[in-house]
């Protein structure tokens, strides 16, 4: 009995979806520029519920220490050098407001008394005013827009009916049912010397704007910036009825001329557009820390494109002169920040499925030096985000395919990463070891490009000389979103590996991080070159990994990946089963029923009626008469990117053909399955389907 117990303890806990849900998730963190104090947000699942608590923690030499534990839904954590305080939002009072956390006393104090929820907060560099976002209704009284918004929300909730009448789009966006003329606007608020920030202290920065700031659904404080002299705000928005079919997000500027007078009223100037001449997307405005006239930002050139390359730009806000830099870099920058003395600009990107951070001499950039001369790589991941500099250190979040996110530090000139947090060490210590996948490249027969893949296989009690594994083809979405060396709480290949399966995740043509030409090669070629890439990678696995079963394989994917699966259903006969999550069934219908119409316009080369042949060429519905293999179809009721009717139509086509099929519908979920309980159901359904058709269980 003792020997059996020791064996169980030695083997450890097998990783599973349940274990993944148990993990603490690192949220945002902030670093004091005075002494390097780190405060972080950490979210934890409340067992047996669909609730997670997001709480504040102080990083100490011994680990992390909870602070202000009464705030269980804290968010929007920032730090102000002017006050040496941390700030965050919380709904503790019933309305989400701003709180200050003093790192010396570890006490949290409310700063706002407003009638509506606020988010996306920033303090001005001199700490005289606050910038935040809140929802407004443009048709209400705009002399007190926050009170009017609160009253209108209450009125609408009390109506005995629900009707919406739109004169322009959006109608729906990602997972939100929109209300006509309701937008998210930026506000500035004078911070009083005593008492709370109240509505009379607040002014709408963009009155009357038919647009959101930060942009929905994923915009955050990276979409606006306050100048170092606290006299200007630059923000990104897109205005007007063309928003669903264009990506012309532009940067606007507002002057705050009374920024230094603590007794003056804040009366922002009328916003003026700085980049409306560019038809592509402008993003991430950042003022130079030492020059309030100089604004840096990232920009795309192409119209109606979300997958063009983001390039570094600079703009003199007085003269309007624009300059583009580092154009020889073959990739897209994700974000950047500038050192306090304006000597160094740190650029983040993803290269070959891993994060990289470059330190670039700003003087060299402004002198139009080439990327290789101006920039030096200082970090490489995993998946790196939230990079900040403190003295001679870079502090950042990093995860990988074998480790969830923690906070790390490294020298600002590069070097070894030092892990600062161990958020899940107590859980992971009980696990069987997780192993990094193999990686390989296969030369494309279409254009000679080298196509990258991750190959995961069981490695603990798996003996490749004796055992075999059934293969799962993992097909990513986007289609430009590559499989990266990053941890996932949804499509984590370790959950399938732990069940004894091998997983092949190919970064086919179209995947980001492998260069501009490779990424754009998928346009109007959705299912020729990418399908060849997946099939060639599969053949490589069969040739080099003899323990992989040749007879039974399942293909699964979500979004574009689900659409890819739907296409394979009607065009290959050597795949045992399929799993399609939120995939497109009728591509031609999708060209008009999706929320972001610019996506099919760019991917298919035009509007449905102008590019009809291309839409129909790659339309999975056209080959439904050739479907033959069992398929699991999954869809979310709040997925407005790809409506649930695509999943329903696919399932009914399978049923009409008498093919074993199952439709799993999540009424409350969106393009992804976010909530913990639903996620566990999702994994049970997926793994059950694989067991049934690959293992005959």
The DSSP code sequence of 53-116 is EEEEEEEETTEEEEESTT-SB-EEEEEETTTTEEEEEE-TTSS-EEEEEETTTTEEEE-B--SS
The pLDDT of 319-338, averaged and rounded, is 97
**CATH superfamily name and code, 428-694:** Alpha/Beta hydrolase fold, catalytic domain (3.40.50.1820)
Domain boundaries, the chain: 25-111, 428-694
The pLDDT score that the predictor gives to residue 275 is 98
The pLDDT of 382-406, averaged and rounded, is 98
The pLDDT of 352-362, averaged and rounded, is 98
- pLDDT for 109 beyond 90: yes
pLDDT digits (tens, 9 = 90+) for 619-675: 999 999 999 999 999 999 999 999 999 999 999 999 999 999 999 999 999 999 999
- What percentage of the chain has pLDDT greater than the value 90? 94
Q: Which long-range contacts (CB under 8 A, 24 or more apart) does 245-248 make?
A: 245/304, 245/597, 245/598, 245/601, 246/279, 246/303, 246/304, 246/598, 247/280, 247/281, 247/300, 247/303, 247/304, 247/305, 247/306, 247/598, 248/276, 248/278, 248/279, 248/280, 248/281, 248/303
1: confidence class by pLDDT, cuts 50, 70, 90: very low
Query: Residue 364: helix, strand or coil by DSSP?
Result: helix
Give the integer Cα–Cα distance in Å for 305 and 281: 8
Predicted TM-score (pTM) of the model is 0.96
Arithmetic mean of pLDDT over the chain: 96
8: confidence class by pLDDT, cuts 50, 70, 90: very low
Could you give phi then psi for residue 465, rounded to 5 degrees? -80, -25
Q: Is the peptide bond before 214 cis (omega within 30 degrees of 0)?
A: yes
460: confidence class by pLDDT, cuts 50, 70, 90: confident
The pLDDT score that the predictor gives to residue 672 is 96
Give the integer Cα–Cα distance in Å for 688 and 594: 31
- pLDDT for 127 beyond 90: yes
- pLDDT for 259 beyond 90: no
pLDDT digits (tens, 9 = 90+) for 496-548: 999 999 999 999 999 999 999 999 999 999 999 999 999 999 999 999 999 99
- pLDDT for 695 beyond 70: yes
The pLDDT of 441-459, averaged and rounded, is 97
Determine the distance from the C-alpha atom of residue 600 to the mean position of all C-alpha atoms in its chain, rounded to a whole number.
20
Give the integer Cα–Cα distance in Å for 240 and 312: 26
Sorted by sequence, the CB contacts under 8 Å of residue 199 that are 6+ apart come out as 114, 115, 144, 146, 147
The pLDDT of 433-459, averaged and rounded, is 97
The pLDDT score that the predictor gives to residue 258 is 54
Q: Which tokens sit at 579? A: 């799993």
Inter-axis angle of helices 529-544 and 560-569, to 10 degrees? 80
The pLDDT of 343-355, averaged and rounded, is 99
Give the integer Cα–Cα distance in Å for 392 and 411: 6
- What percentage of the chain has pLDDT greater than the value 70? 97
Residues marked active site are found at: 559, 639, 671
Give the integer Cα–Cα distance in Å for 350 and 519: 13
The pLDDT score that the predictor gives to residue 2 is 44
Give the integer Cα–Cα distance in Å for 383 and 405: 8
The pLDDT score that the predictor gives to residue 459 is 84
269: confidence class by pLDDT, cuts 50, 70, 90: confident
CB of 106 closer than 8 Å to CB of 156: no
- pLDDT for 271 beyond 50: yes
- pLDDT for 261 beyond 80: no
The pLDDT score that the predictor gives to residue 113 is 98
Do β-strands 202-204 and 182-190 pair in parallel, antiparallel, or remain unpaired?
A: antiparallel
């Amino acid at each position: 009995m003792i020997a059996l117990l020791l064996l169980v303890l030695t083997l450890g806990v097998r990783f599973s979806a349940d274990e993944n849900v148990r993990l603490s998730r690192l949220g945002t963190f902030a670093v004091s520029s005075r002494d390097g104090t780190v405060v972080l947000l950490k979210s934890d699942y409340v067992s047996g519920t669909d609730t997670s608590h997001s709480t504040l923690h102080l990083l100490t030499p011994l680990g992390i220490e909870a602070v202000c534990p009464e705030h269980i839904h804290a968010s929007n954590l920032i730090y102000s050098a002017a006050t040496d305080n941390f700030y965050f939002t919380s709904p503790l009072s019933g309305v989400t407001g701003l709180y200050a956390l003093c790192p010396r006393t570890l006490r949290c104090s409310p700063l706002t008394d407003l009638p509506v929820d606020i988010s996306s907060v920033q303090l001005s560099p001199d700490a005289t005013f606050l910038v935040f976002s809140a929802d407004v209704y443009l048709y209400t009284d705009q002399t007190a827009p926050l009170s009017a918004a609160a009253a209108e929300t209450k009125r609408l909730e009390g109506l005995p009916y629900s009707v919406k009448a739109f004169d322009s789009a959006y109608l729906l966006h990602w997972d939100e049912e929109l209300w006509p003329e309701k937008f998210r606007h930026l506000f500035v608020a004078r911070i009083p010397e005593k008492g709370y920030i109240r509505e009379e202290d607040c002014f709408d920065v963009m009155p009357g704007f038919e647009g959101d700031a930060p942009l929905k659904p994923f915009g955050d404080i990276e979409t606006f910036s306050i100048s170092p002299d606290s006299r200007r705000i630059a923000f990104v928005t897109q205005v007007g009825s063309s928003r669903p079919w264009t990506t012309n997000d532009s940067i606007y500027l507002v002057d705050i001329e009374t920024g230094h007078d603590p007794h003056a009223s804040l009366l922002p100037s009328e916003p003026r557009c700085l980049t409306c001449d560019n038809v592509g997307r402008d993003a991430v405005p950042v003022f130079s820390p030492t020059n309030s006239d100089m604004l840096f930002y990232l920009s795309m050139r192409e119209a109606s494109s979300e997958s063009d390359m983001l390039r570094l730009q600079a703009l003199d806000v007085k003269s309007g002169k624009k300059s583009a830099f580092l154009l020889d870099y073959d990739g897209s920058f994700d974000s950047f920040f500038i050192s306090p003395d304006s000597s160094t600009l740190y650029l983040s990107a993803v290269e070959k499925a891993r994060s990289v951070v470059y330190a670039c001499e700003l003087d060299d950039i402004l002198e139009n030096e080439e990327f290789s001369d101006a920039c030096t790589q200082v970090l490489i991941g995993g998946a790196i985000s939230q990079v900040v500099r403190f003295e001679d250190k870079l502090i950042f979040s990093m995860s990988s395919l074998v480790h969830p996110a923690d906070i790390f530090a490294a020298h600002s000139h590069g070097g070894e990463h030092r892990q600062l947090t161990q958020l899940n060490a107590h859980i992971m210590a009980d696990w069987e070891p997780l192993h990094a996948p193999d990686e390989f490249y296969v030369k494309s027969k279409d254009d000679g490009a080298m196509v990258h893949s991750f190959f995961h296989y069981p490695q603990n009690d798996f003996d490749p000389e004796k055992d075999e594994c059934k293969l799962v083809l993992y097909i990513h979405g986007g289609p430009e979103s590559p499989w990266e060396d990053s941890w996932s709480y949804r499509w984590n290949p370790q959950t399938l590996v732990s069940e004894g399966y091998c997983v092949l995740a190919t970064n086919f043509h179209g995947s980001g991080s492998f260069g501009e030409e490779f990424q754009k090669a998928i346009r109007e070629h959705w299912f020729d070159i990418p399908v060849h890439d997946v099939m060639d990678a599969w053949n490589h696995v069969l040739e080099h990994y003899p323990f992989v079963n040749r007879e039974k394989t399942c293909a699964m994917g979500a979004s574009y990946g689900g659409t890819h699966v739907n296409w394979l259903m009607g065009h290959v006969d050597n795949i045992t089963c399929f799993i399609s999550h939120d995939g497109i069934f009728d591509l031609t219908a999708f060209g008009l029923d999706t929320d972001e119409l610019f996506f099919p316009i760019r991917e298919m080369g035009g509007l449905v009626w102008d590019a009809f042949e291309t839409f129909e060429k790659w339309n999975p519905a056209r080959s439904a008469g050739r479907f033959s293999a069992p398929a699991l179809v999954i869809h979310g009721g709040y997925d407005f990117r790809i409506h649930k009717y695509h999943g329903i139509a696919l399932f009914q086509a399978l049923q009409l053909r008498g093919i074993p099929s199952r439709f799993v519908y999540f009424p409350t979920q969106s393009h992804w399955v976010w909530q913990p309980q639903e996620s566990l159901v999702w994994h049970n359904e997926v793994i059950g389907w694989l067991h049934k058709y690959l293992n005959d269980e």
